[in-house]
Structure 1
């Protein structure tokens, strides 16, 4: 295989970043829960990917980089106790564009915040990125059964939150609307 150098390689990588970075940031944000942290993680992963671009561009570059983002977020969770900085709870900007398909992104992020790190990763990989249970298990180093049970528990937690948000506060028991 002949490796390209220089301008062609740079153009190929630039095109990849232009078309895929938005989705990668959305993926990372759903995993870690913080937009700015997600951007930092994706930027770091893209720097590493650029260094290997001539080897990965012909296979499945998006799959490679997405897996790298997932691994970087996992590393970020594992080293959280070593950091003194803390991400903010309120995201200062309102995202718009292809990754804001959910009507109220803040409600979705709030529901994801209720999940453990593992539950969040399983839900994001399974439903946002549309991976199979087997792929999620392989990516996270857990069994398929663990993916299924974790997903079940996580979705139940999210449904309660999302249902409460949609329905609003429940009326007092025993009161009926008068006609």
Structure 2
């Protein structure tokens, strides 16, 4: 099969998943779109050279590396919400408040800590897989996850209930 056709099929099949992961990393739709586009630019440049490499792991490594590198270049800035959360129902208001609290706490983590949490708990990767995606050792993934979860517990104790069973 032609490499260009393979690239188109891969992007078509995995684009939505990459966009979701980028949104979880950035917390902003426009920033996520920019991150995915930057990832695609790098991917297209390197696609012919990538050979028999697993394209999923390859593109995810590019995505996470671009996110961490991009954060280093341009420090996080506070972004306004497009619209205020719907607080019509008491239960919905509590859920929205928890979501906003957790999002705020996540934004205060380092990019690498956020990337580790996304890989481990959203992407459901093992420590070894997350380490390979980030280009670090499994021990770094363990320590970053431990520190990130502890920091989340400090910043948003009520919103971190889903992580309470996780070893830190």
**Equivalent position of 2:152 in the other structure:** 158
In the superposition, the TM-score normalised over structure 1's length comes to 0.64
Q: 2:2 aligns with which of 1, 4, 18?
A: 4
* Structure 2 portions without partners, runs of 5+: 86-94, 162-168
State whether residues 25 and 42 of structure 1, in contact with CA within 8 Å, keep that contact through their aligned partners in structure 2: yes
Give the one of 117, 120, 126 matched to 1:123: 117
Does residue 90 (structure 1) correspond to residue 88 (structure 2)? The answer is no
Q: Deviations over 1:79-135 (max 9, x none)?
A: 115xxx9462425699xxxxxxxx765454333113222321221122222222233
Match of 1:49 in 2: 43
Structure 1: segments with no counterpart, 5+ residues: 95-102, 167-179
Computed over aligned residues only, the root mean square deviation of the Cα atoms, in angstroms, reads 3.3
- Hey, what's the Cα distance between the residues in 2 that align with 1:92 and 1:66? 30
SS in 1 for 2:158: helix
| Residue 166 of structure 2: aligned partner | none
Checking the alignment, whether the CA contact within 8 Å between 1:42 and 1:69 is kept in structure 2 is: yes
Larger Rg: 1
The TM-score normalised by the length of structure 2 is 0.67
Aligned length: 149
8 Å Cα contact 2:152-2:160 kept in structure 1: no
Distance 1:23 1:108, change over 3 A: farther
Retained in 1: the 8 A contact 2:7–2:47? yes
Q: Is the 8 A contact 1:30 1:109 kept in 2?
A: no
What is the alpha-carbon distance in structure 2 between the residues aligned to residue 158 and residue 27 of structure 1? 19
